[in-house]
Amino acid sequence: MRTCARDTALLLAGGFTACVLASVAPPASAFTIDARRLGMGGAFTPRSRELATANVAYHAVADRPSDFGRVIPLPLGLVQLATDFPTFDAESESFDVLRITETILHPPFFLELTEPDPMDGDISISLARNAFAIDFDDARDLLPQEPIRAGTTFAPPLFGLGIRGAQTFVAPLLEAEARVALDDPLYAVLSQGAPLLPNSRYDFQANATSLAGTSFHAGWSGGGWGAPESDGVHVGAFAKYVMGFGFGTADTRVGLATADTIFGDEDPLDVLFDATTRYAPFGQIGNGIGFDAGVAYRAGALDVGVGVRDIATNVWFGKTTVEHSFIDDATGEIVSETVATDESFRLRLPTQTTVNLSWSGRATVLAADLTTSRWGTTTHFGAERRIGWLALRGGLLTDERHNLQYAGGLGLGLSQVWLDVGLQSHGYAFTEERGWTLGTSIGLR
């Protein structure tokens, strides 16, 4: 049986991990099952299924000869994971919260070639009657000084029907969002080894929201209007009906207030803890509507598009349960109150805008895109040069922390079938070291 302190540690570790995880969660566009796109820095190429998710106008844009009609991924990372699956048993010797976090942050669909620093460096704690400081070299620059808001939406079309531009399809929906903020004094204590000072206040705030459900899309996309090779303007607009099967939010504030003497005979610190959670009980289904729209323009080798997804998308839950947790001043225990069990709540999904630009020559493809939302902005740049049966690829991208990452790859083509290998770097969640992912897939033209 675990001790209370260990439970507390797990709670704090989990919370901290979640916050860091949230602060660096990759946007949906960064994840791909296409090794070609991986090697091109994650940039969208015309007519890719992933681009059609970000810009519905691309449902109507015709394939280019260089585009793959279908991608069959070779998820070697899943094999790697299956042979060495991280344990979730906190009592196990091999339990590693870092590895679990990295596994979640960088889903091991493709092969992970590197491992992050185990962060097993020394931790120095200085303690005196009126001073307390922690110095952990590995944690420097670990925590964000500025408040960070990040999230991801995963909603790829699964299947659908279409006739003369009118289409309908179904997509799963996973949405997660978090915001984490440390005030400057607490940031200095945790990240720079600054001592706690008497008569001071240290604050931490974290908010998180998650939603799981499905969406039914109906709309129209078309364009070109007689222009050859799908040139011209293409537009798309879809309405969606969203069903939310699971939903939860948490708003947590933790404060530390020091007195005249930090390690005096009374409680060393006054802990301020206030958390409000809201969730839809099992069986409560949320309903909502929203819209996706996009425009794409093709002129010869040039493709330009602007797509906006989740315009005015709200999901309404008729009954949610609200709980409030705080520290009881009299007992020092955490007390939780259920303050409502039938309160309605409207969840607004973030609007995401994607701008893409590409040039597709006879043997060369250049592509770039930018995705922005209330979670921030990411950019991708990629290039491909085909020489007979060989395709050479490269790319650059900015990650969630605005660090520059690199990509490269090659493809080997035989008739309509291409074997693609892509290599892309990424920053590890905790250490910001550069890691490398190797992806493989088969493209069918």
Partner 1 sequence: MLLTHRSRGLRPAARWALVGALGLLAAACGKNRVFLDVDVLSFMDQASLVHPYDAPALVPFSARLDSISVNLIEGFQDFGEAQSATLDVEVEYDNATGQGSSRFTIYFSDDPATTFATPPVAVLDVDLAPGTVSTGSLQIPADARVLDLFTSKRFWMGVDMEWNPTGVEPLQGTLRITEIRVRLVSTLDLFG
Q: Which of residues 177-206 bind partner 1 (CB under 8 A)?
A: 190
CA distance 424 to 397: 9
CA quadruple 271, 276, 282, 288: dihedral sign = negative
Name residues whose C-beta falls within 8 Å of residue 339's C-beta, 6 or more positions apart in sequence. Answer: 322, 323, 324
Q: Which of residues 235-254 bind partner 1 (CB under 8 A)?
A: 254
Q: Does 334 bind partner 1 (CB under 8 A)?
A: yes
Q: Does 121 bind partner 1 (CB under 8 A)?
A: yes
Q: Does 259 bind partner 1 (CB under 8 A)?
A: no
Ramachandran category for residue 247: left, alpha or beta (phi over 0 → left; psi -120 to 50 → alpha): beta
Q: Does 328 bind partner 1 (CB under 8 A)?
A: yes
Q: Which of 82, 146, 267, 282 binds partner 1 (CB under 8 A)?
A: 267
End-to-end CA distance of the chain: 57
For residues 401 and 445, which CB has a smaller minimum distance to partner 1 in the complex? 401
Instruction: In angstroms, give the least distance from the CB of 35 to partner 1.
Output: 31
- Cα 355 vs. chain centroid, distance in angstroms? 19
- Cα 235 vs. chain centroid, distance in angstroms? 28
Instruction: In angstroms, give the least distance from the CB of 325 to partner 1.
Output: 8
Nearest to 39 by CA among 298, 412, 415, 433: 412
Query: What secondary structure letter does DSSP report for 324?
Result: E
Task: Choose the stretch contacting partner 1; rule: CB under 8 A; options: 24-32, 43-51, 305-313, 336-344.
Answer: 336-344
Query: What secondary structure letter does DSSP report for 226?
Result: T
Task: Choose the stretch contacting partner 1; rule: CB under 8 A; options: 85-93, 213-221, 226-234, 243-251.
Answer: 85-93
Q: Which of 65, 70, 82, 122 binds partner 1 (CB under 8 A)?
A: 122
Convert 344-373 to b/e letters by CB count within 10 Å (16 or more is b). ebebebbbbbbbbbbbbeeeebbbbbbbeb
- Cα 396 vs. chain centroid, distance in angstroms? 19
Q: Does 5 bind partner 1 (CB under 8 A)?
A: yes
Q: Does 415 bind partner 1 (CB under 8 A)?
A: no
Total of residues contacting partner 1 (CB under 8 A): 68
Cβ distance 113 to 436 under 8 Å?
Answer: yes
Residue 296, burial from CB neighbour count under 10 angstroms (0-12, 13-18, 19+): buried
Q: Does 412 bind partner 1 (CB under 8 A)?
A: no
Q: Which of 84, 114, 126, 346 binds partner 1 (CB under 8 A)?
A: 126
Q: Which of 289, 327, 392, 419 binds partner 1 (CB under 8 A)?
A: 327
Q: Which of residues 8-37 bind partner 1 (CB under 8 A)?
A: 8-13, 16-17, 20
Q: Which of 118, 198, 281, 300 binds partner 1 (CB under 8 A)?
A: 118
- Interacting residues toward partner 1 by CB under 8 A: 3-13, 16-17, 20, 90-91, 93, 95-98, 118-132, 134, 136, 138-139, 142, 190, 254, 256, 263-265, 267-271, 273, 325, 327-328, 331-341, 430
